[in-house]
Chain A
């Protein structure tokens, strides 16, 4: 009995941590109503591997120590160790996030398509680019996504805009880490990505909060995306956060124009049983400022946030009801300081004009970091970059430009600059671009559709008091990134059915010319007079 009690106690302390390192698994779901009547749902599954540092890249050739995990996903852990990845962020999103109506997302990585960025330590026997390639291919295999195509033609290292979210360890005094970033806007997220994602969770989608991830409902959402974030936070060890965000529309199926929702109505399921591996399991609901009715009664309310602890509950469902029907508002208040519209203009297949319209909604000046990672098939003409405010050219808006020129057929361009927006102003940025002429084999399948270009990223600078540009100070002064929508560029495409026709046609022409010339050279000419009878 005492032994049983002891085991029971150990279980309560943490279902882990008895042998070797400690592991924790925390899951939560945040639900909040948005201004336009939609409901934002954010799942977050966090696994902590306490006291374990990332793999030292200098020892990559030596056999790795054994890996023993309880709730930490082994498949992901193997990839991280195989390529000695210190920090990793992968997001797969569908749709474009509407910052004006929905505000900032809970998970900041909302760029359309796939985005992968990783920090890797230098000094390994394998080069960072080789490891990056291995990582891409391994993750592509793990998540059934075409991440393998994030090759050197799409890989950049935008160190002014992306900063580690965790701590980069220093091995033997050297903490040299390099950033690799790639995005693939044409990647579509669907069930084939969710299934391997769920397999990384200790309870899969069979119990706990993850059981709400019903592919029929979540891929029906107006916006949806999943993310994998791995970082090292020093003492507390390696954190892996798997997240899923969806923006659902309860008004769509509703007849009475009411925003009422419940877990059952949003996901088609409620929670039947809790996940036995979880250390905490919480559902948070943001309470609206107007009249509402929520059931069951929250176990805790802090400010506007109601929370439910569902660990150990047999079944759980939460429902929110509004007494009145929803009225669409003509305008929305937004917490995001700026809004941005990016377009690619010009009708020809040889050149065009990139245009950004950035509005500052605040009554204070706003500084931003502006990042473009452009595949080489669209080439910037930097001398044509102009900023106009109220129709006048204002070149003081743009400063601190850093530009890595593209290399045709191999490297994309990285353009980073700081923008300073005047209070309550609309700034127009324009730049001429050239569209490349691609080789026959470089065209993707369905070439006539055009090429998707990755979103630009605008990151507000929180305080302007910076004077040194060290990495840590930069990280602190940058706010949450804002992703623009993706672009579609139409480059000149050949008629792909032609090659054989061209061969035949050219051959006939050559044969014709050859025959004529040859005949002229070798034919015997005779003169036939009108009175002379032709020679026999």
Chain B
């Protein structure tokens, strides 16, 4: 014992092999721990079906429109007319593929019958039009299949949603000033003017309806006083007409988009209130539309001497709901029939199947395009940001959207294609807005290093130095031993 203390190199743990073993085991442990550390600190990024998304994003939707005509000559000329249309404005005709059949080999389902007649009338899936009147009749037909978009109306139409809330409000500017409207027959108005439309639109949207009466809804601006004592709202004022701070028009109890329909009754002190055209003249229209928000009708009731508030007269009620119904159609993007086209007497008051089908085609094309764009954006975003986690729910939504998209392409009927396209757009936007993808965005790598360095720097440096020293010592030793052995061989003759 005493001898070992005097000779520390004789201690067993002072032997070179043990020392090197210790350093080696430290390093082995650290290297073994690295994968574990990597695994526990890495972000879950599941792979997305990128190639499938890219190929789907390039794909063109083809919604077949089958037209059946009796005359073979007209068949070919109509086909070439429609093909030329689609070629000339490929953006607008994106997704619509018209085919003209002769009466004999007309597909039994979802085809339109084109009949020759003097007047232009649509009825269910039939159209009667004067075919001899080339190109006007063909133009009308093309407009029925794919109604032209009015350039300044583009932003009016609300984004597609399965469910909408329709909020009807009778808004008195100041009912305590008298001669205002205290109640309206909203049920009658809905039944006669709104419900038939909603019923027709059932395959596309569901609606919940609510209505309220407000007695005090101040404007946020002063209407301009005209020379004749009436008041006017200038086009600039129309943009700030809605005083959303004070008018509690709808609550936020659900996430469904809301379409507002407001009947505005000006205060008795500021009547009549008119809408002014840009040149300052009183406009004939008493209603206006706020794109993607809703419609407003201004009604000036007669001023009563007694100053009492009254109920809305039923004829006026009817007229106002007629205007609301027009605004609703415009907001939902339901196309109008082209000029000169009339509905058959049996469905005169309602929307024709041609209009609904055209809307459905447009919505399907929109949804498909939207899904394609969203899916490519997701892939781009995930590739761009390395810290963005991709979890199962995002991957499942993306896959679901892709599948729905594929099914929409291979659907047998327009209704089916539309349903799948709607599903695809819902899933893809849900994946895009998944809150889980933002989780680690704000925990940058710098912060991690700030936490790690105090530990790792101070622990790893002695390890490194020890390892380097040992390697140097070992090399020296080997060199020495080589020299030794060479010198011994040299010395040996």
Report how many residues on chain B are interfacial, defined by Cβ distance under 8 Å.
58
Interchain CA distance A10-B313 in the complex, whole Å? 13
A326 interface hit (Cβ, 8 Å): no
What total of chain A residues lie within 8 Å of the partner, measured CB to CB? Answer: 57
**A508 CB within 8 Å of chain B:** yes
Among B183, B206, B208, which residue has its beta carbon within 8 angstroms of that of A18? B183
B221 at the interface (CB under 8 A from A): no
Task: Tell me the B435-492 residues at the A interface (CB within 8 Å).
Answer: 451, 454-455, 457-459, 462-463, 466
Q: How far is the CB of B214 from chain A (nearest CB, A)?
A: 7
User: How many angstroms from the CA of A135 to the CA of B44 in the assembled complex?
Assistant: 35
Given A274-B176, A515-B462, A525-B14, check contact A510 B455 (CB 8 Å): yes
Tell yes or no: B348 within 8 A of A by CB: no
A363 to chain B, nearest CB (A): 53
A335 to B136, CA, bound (A): 90
Whole-angstrom CA separation of A509 from B256 in the bound complex: 57
B5, B183, B185, B209: which has the most chain A beta carbons within 10 Å? B183
**Would you call B22 an interface residue if the criterion is a C-beta within 8 Å of the partner chain's C-beta atoms?**
yes
Contact B182 A63 (CB under 8 A): no
| A328 interface residue (CB < 8 Å to B) | no
Asked whether any CB of chain A lies closer than 8 Å to the CB of B73, the reply is no
B454 near A503: Cβ-Cβ < 8 Å: yes
The answer to whether B215 and A275 touch across the interface, beta carbons within 8 angstroms, is yes
Q: Assess whether B187 is in contact with A514, with CB atoms less than 8 Å apart.
A: no
Asked if B43 is at the interface of the complex by the 8 Å CB criterion, the answer is: no
Known: A19-B186, A204-B216, A276-B309. A522 touches B9 (CB 8 A): no
Q: Say whether B187 contacts A20, CB under 8 Å.
A: yes
Report if A527-B8 is in contact (Cβ < 8 Å); known contacts: A203-B216, A503-B454, A521-B13. yes
B301 to chain A, nearest CB (A): 11
Q: Could you tell me the distance between the alpha carbons of A16 and B216 in the complex, rounded to whole angstroms?
A: 17
Q: Is the CB of A78 within 8 A of B308?
A: no
Residues of B within 8 A of A504 (CB): 454
Q: Check A67 against B182 for contact (C-beta < 8 Å).
A: no
Q: Does A79 have its Cβ within 8 Å of any Cβ on chain B? A: yes
User: CB distance A511 to B311 under 8 Å?
Assistant: no
Residue numbers in B under 8 Å from A512 (CB-CB): 458
A63 with B206: CB separation less than 8 A = yes
Give bound CA distance, A71 to B457, whole Å. 71
Nearest chain A CB to B267 CB, angstrom units: 11
Interface string of B272-314 (1 = CB under 8 A from A): 0000000000000000000000000000000010101111000
A160 to B: closest C-beta gap in Å: 32
Contact of A69 among B212, B218, B451 (CB under 8 A): B212
With A203-B176, A206-B176 as known contacts, state yes or no: A19 contacts B183, CB within 8 Å: yes
In angstroms, Cα B457 to Cα A272, docked, is 76
| A64 on interface, CB distance cutoff 8 Å | yes
Chain A residues closer than 8 Å to B308, beta-carbon distance: 7-8, 11
What per-residue 1/0 map shows which CB atoms of B152-183 lie under 8 Å from chain A?
Answer: 00000000000000000000001110101011
List chain A residues, Cβ under 8 A from B186.
19, 68
Q: Complex formed: what's the CA distance from A8 to B183 in Å?
A: 12
Residues facing B in A478-536 (CB within 8 A) are 500, 503-504, 507-508, 510-512, 514-515, 518-519, 521-522, 524-527
- Interface residues in A66-100 (C-beta closer than 8 Å to B): 66-71, 74-75, 78-79, 82
- CB of A338 within 8 A of chain B? no
B141: interface (CB < 8 Å): no
> Given known contacts A11-B182, A276-B180, A508-B454, is B211 in contact with A67 (CB within 8 Å)?
yes
Question: Does B110 have its Cβ within 8 Å of any Cβ on chain A?
Answer: no
Contact B208 A206, beta carbon cutoff 8 Å: no
Contact between chains at A7 and B310 (CB < 8 Å): yes
Q: Is A145 an interface residue (CB 8 A)?
A: no
Asked whether any CB of chain B lies closer than 8 Å to the CB of A4, the reply is: yes
Is there a chain A Cβ closer than 8 Å to B40's Cβ? Answer: no
Residue interface bits A183-222, CB-to-B below 8 A is 1, else 0: 0000000000000000110111011100000000000000
Which of B8, B13, B211, B216 lies in contact with A66, CB distance below 8 A?
B211
Q: Are A507 and B176 in contact (CB under 8 A)?
A: no
A518 touches B454 (CB 8 A): no
Chain B residues closer than 8 Å to A131, beta-carbon distance: none
- Residue among A20, A63, A204, A511 making CB contact with B458, cutoff 8 Å: A511
Selected from A79, A199, A200, A507, the residue in CB contact (under 8 A) with B455 is A507
**In the complex the two chains form, is B182's CB within 8 Å of A525's CB?**
no
Give B131-166 as 1s and 0s: 1 = Cβ < 8 Å from A's Cβ atoms: 000000000000000000000000000000000000
Kindly state the separation between the CA atoms of A78 and B212 in the bound complex, as whole angstroms: 12
B53-97: contact bitstring with A at CB < 8 Å (1 yes, 0 no)?
000000000000000000000000000000000000000000000
> A74 near B310 (CB under 8 angstroms)?
no
**A207 with B176: CB separation less than 8 A:** yes
| Chain B nearest CB, measured from A27 CB (Å) | 13
Q: Which among A74, A208, A515 is the interface contact of B251 at CB below 8 angstroms?
A: A74
**CB proximity of B473 to chain A, nearest CB, Å:** 9
A142 at interface, CB cutoff 8 A? yes
A199, A206, A208, A274 — which one has the most chain B CB atoms within 10 A of its CB? A206
Residues A15 and B187 in contact in the complex (CB < 8 Å), given A66-B210, A141-B252, A526-B9: no
A-side contacts of B251, CB under 8 Å: 74-75, 78-79, 138, 142
CB neighbours (8 Å) of B459 from chain A are 510-511, 514-515
Cross-chain contact A277 with B175 (CB below 8 angstroms): yes
Report the Cα distance A304→B210, complex, angstroms. 45
B residues near A207, Cβ cutoff 8 Å = 176, 216
Residues of B contacting A273 in the complex (Cβ-Cβ under 8 angstroms) = 176
In the bound complex, residues from chain A placing their C-beta under 8 Å from that of B236 are none
Contacts of A526 in B (CB 8 A): 8-9
CB proximity of B4 to chain A, nearest CB, Å: 10
A15 near B210 (CB under 8 angstroms)? no
Cβ contacts under 8 Å, A508 to chain B: 454, 458
Closest to B466 in A: A522
Question: For the complex, is B19 an interface residue (Cβ under 8 Å from A)?
Answer: yes
Indicate which residue in B215, B248, B457 contacts A75 across the interface (CB closer than 8 Å): B248
Q: How far is the CA of A16 from the CA of B7 in the complex (A)?
A: 110
Complex: chain A residue closest to B460, CB-CB: A511
The complex places the Cα of A20 from the Cα of B211 at a distance, in Å, of: 12
Which residues of A have CB within 8 Å of B215?
202-203, 275-277
Determine whether the beta carbon of B309 is less than 8 Å from that of A11.
yes
Using Cβ atoms and an 8 Å threshold, which residues of chain B touch A19? 183-188
Smallest CB gap from B453: residue in A: A507
Q: How far is the CA of A510 from the CA of B8 in the complex (A)?
A: 28
Asked if B46 is at the interface (CB within 8 A of a chain A CB), the reply is no
Contacting pair B463 A199 (CB below 8 A): no
Docked complex Cα distance between A330 and B373 (Å): 79
CA distance A524 to B10 in the complex (A): 11
Q: How many Å lie between the Cα of A512 and that of B210 in the bound state?
A: 71
Q: Are B216 and A68 in contact (CB under 8 A)?
A: no
| Nearest chain A residue, comparing its CB with the CB of B11 | A525
Q: Identify the closest chain A residue to B16 (Cβ).
A: A524
* Contact, CB under 8 Å: A511 / B187: no
A314 closest partner in B (C-beta): B176
Decide if B341 is an interface residue (CB 8 Å cutoff).
no
Bound together, the chains give a CA A10 to CA B462 distance in angstroms of 95
Closest to B450 in A: A500
Complex formed: what's the CA distance from A147 to B13 in Å?
A: 67
Q: In whole Å, how far is A185's beta carbon from the nearest beta carbon of chain B?
A: 27
Q: Which A residues lie at the B interface, using CB under 8 A?
A: 4, 7-8, 10-11, 15-16, 18-20, 63-64, 66-71, 74-75, 78-79, 82, 138, 141-142, 199-200, 202-204, 206-208, 273-277, 500, 503-504, 507-508, 510-512, 514-515, 518-519, 521-522, 524-527
The 5 closest A-B pairs by CB, nearest first: A511-B458, A75-B251, A507-B455, A507-B454, A525-B8
Extra 13 A-B pairs, beta carbons < 8 Å, given A68-B210, A525-B8: A7-B311, A8-B310, A11-B182, A19-B185, A19-B187, A66-B208, A67-B211, A68-B212, A74-B248, A75-B248, A510-B455, A514-B459, A526-B8
14 intermolecular pairs with C-beta atoms under 8 Å apart: A15-B182, A67-B209, A70-B182, A74-B210, A74-B248, A74-B250, A75-B253, A204-B246, A276-B175, A277-B175, A515-B459, A521-B13, A526-B9, A527-B5
